[in-house]
Amino acid sequence: MLNVLLWLPLAVALVAVLLPRRAVAPFSFLGSLVTLALAIALVVDFDSSIPGLQHEVSESWIPDLGISYALGVDGISLFLVLLTALLWSASFAFAAFRQPERRRNYFFMLGLAETATLGAFLAQDLVLFVLFFDLMLVPFFFLIGAYGTGNRVQATIKMMIYTLVGSLLMLVGAIATGILVADETGELSFALADLRANVLSEGTQAWIFCFFAAAFLVKMPAVPLHGWVPDAYRAAPLPALALLSGVLSKVAAYGFLRVVFPIFPDAAIEFQELVMIVAVASILYGSVMAFTQSNLRMIIAYSSIAQMGFITLGLFALTADGADGAVLHMINHGLVAWPVFFIIALLAERYGSEDLREMGGGALRAPVFATLFIIVTLALLAMPGSANFIGEFYILNAVFQTKVVYAIVASTGIAMAAFYALRMYQRTMHNRLPEGKTSREIGLRDGVVLAPMVAVIVGLALYPGLVLERGEASVQDKVGAVLAAAECEERFYAQDGEGTQPGVAGIELDCE
């Protein structure tokens, strides 16, 4: 199933290139629905009582270099795969209804991007993960550079410089990890399970951790490595931008859980406070900048920086609750980000601008559109009762138990989110309708795209346990690796490093 799920989007994209121009969009959209159906089947078939990987695929790929074609899904990646398939289907629908120029190239790039993103979530070999992680850049380079607006070339180059530097550092770190582990074991392997079983020394972990963290923090993005964001968000076409914000940033956060925690646990402990400072800075900076903006894209751009800060904070609380909340918040933010950008596109079509100062009265004669928008807005500001609230509650609860000061400061981001989210809704939906503009109800074709996304947001708010229950065992396993390292270090100093000690989270520790 994983092989079909992974390569189907690319296969559909290749076939679409050969079809008549008129058939490209509907064929691509139907292909994305098949991918979504497979992702849903994967969730239905998932056994939450099994803590490890399921539907594993493991084949030798480049044996001389120890690289394998290894795929698998667990409770962490399961709903991220589903999120990817869902948001790509929505973006295919958005593009199919509006028929972009050079549509063969456009839909091919969307398909390639979906396969690369799914590959990053499914890869169980470190080199394979890095390859998919880097491959994601290629289609977005063309989507923004060729289909964007404004200073799209400058924005694309800036984004590529930032992300390529981080990706190259990660590649160096991945190669170094495999080689250094091979020096100890005598066998070269980049399989994540093999690397986890042979943890490197603390000093070596520290510098490799910095390489991986740089790549992930740029992609998220986090302050102060967010310099590419303003230009890219202004220039990107909205379907691509919705995917960039809703899914690609989650690959970076996922990388901390999948790669960094189990393979570099000592470094995660050593740099915990530094990363948490970065996370809090991202929350404050993103929140403050969001309510100083008048451009709708930039409000959501800076809001995304703040939300990714919450996710990073939850991960580096280094507790199971914090990581559970971070995984749930990844899903929540992706589900909210896509509808928000779609609504921005609809507003821009109505007003001929994305500036709040040129909008107003959007709810007049548009009760359905206003209702869908208010549901998305309340989810964005994490209104109690929404799934976003549950995710942030888990995160802040974990941080209050470990780093109280960080939790108090981060909590101010929630209040600021309420301000800029409600301001965005009020300015666009209410006030006086601008002269020469008319308010109209959402059309059937756009409603068919937006309404299911809003329904998913409401459904997850009613049952967040759908994600939490299936991810709990996998999250505890990854965080348990870091807790185990901390326990070993504590007992080493207490007992001179002698003996095998019982572990945490069900893990046996060899602390010698």
- The pLDDT tens digits for 428-461 are 888 888 887 777 888 888 898 999 999 999 999 9
pTM of the shown model: 0.91
354 domain residue, yes or no: yes
Does 171 reside within a domain?
A: no
The H-or-E segment that residue 62 falls in is strand 54-62
Residue 399 belongs to some domain of the structure: yes
> For residue 8, is it within any domain?
no
**What per-residue confidence (pLDDT) applies to 508?**
43
- Give the pLDDT of residue 486: 64
Rounded CA-CA distance 209/264 in Å is 7
Nearest alpha carbon to residue 303 among 284, 290, 288: 290
User: Vertex 303, ends 299 and 305: CA angle to 5°?
Assistant: 125
Do residues 58 and 68 touch, judged by C-beta distance below 8 A? Answer: yes
The domain tally of the chain equals: 1
Nearest to 71 by CA among 235, 198, 192: 192
506 pLDDT above the threshold of 50: no
Determine what percent of the chain is predicted with pLDDT higher than 70.
Answer: 95
Percent composition of the chain: helix, strand, coil (DSSP 3-state, to 5)? 75, 5, 20
Instruction: With respect to residue 6, please indicate whether it lies within any of the assigned structural domains.
Output: no
The arithmetic mean of pLDDT across residues 214-240, rounded, is 88
Question: Residue 125 carries which DSSP code?
Answer: B
Question: pLDDT category, 509, cuts 50, 70, 90?
Answer: very low
Whether the bond between 224 and the residue before it is cis, its omega within 30 degrees of 0, is: yes
For residue 236, which of 380, 311, 344 has the smallest C-alpha distance? Answer: 344
Q: How confident is the model at residue 488 (pLDDT cuts 50, 70, 90)?
A: low
**In the structure encoding, which two tokens stand for residue 366, read together?**
């548009």
Query: What is the C-alpha to C-alpha distance for residues 217 and 226, in angstroms, rounded to an integer?
Result: 8
Q: Which residues pair with 355 in a beta bridge?
A: 295
- Cβ–Cβ < 8 Å for 315, 322: yes
Please check the confidence at residue 147 and state whether its pLDDT lies above 50: yes
Residue at 423 is within a domain: yes
pLDDT for res 264? 92
* Segment holding 29, helix H or strand E: helix 21-45
Rounded distance between C-alpha atoms, residue 55 and residue 58, angstroms: 10
> Domain containing 316: what range?
271-462
Please determine, for residue 224, whether its predicted confidence score (pLDDT) is greater than 50. yes
Please write the tens of the pLDDT for every residue from 8-31.
999 999 999 998 888 898 999 999
Assigned domain for 443 exists: yes
Q: How far apart (Å, rounded) are the C-alpha atoms in residues 20 and 22?
A: 6
For 20-78, write each residue's pLDDT tens digit: 888 898 999 999 999 999 999 999 988 887 778 888 898 988 888 889 999 999 988 99
pLDDT over 60 at 503, yes or no: no
Q: Is residue 275 part of a domain?
A: yes
> What is the CA angle 12-453-298, rounded to 5?
95
User: Confidence band (pLDDT; 50, 70, 90) for 487?
Assistant: low
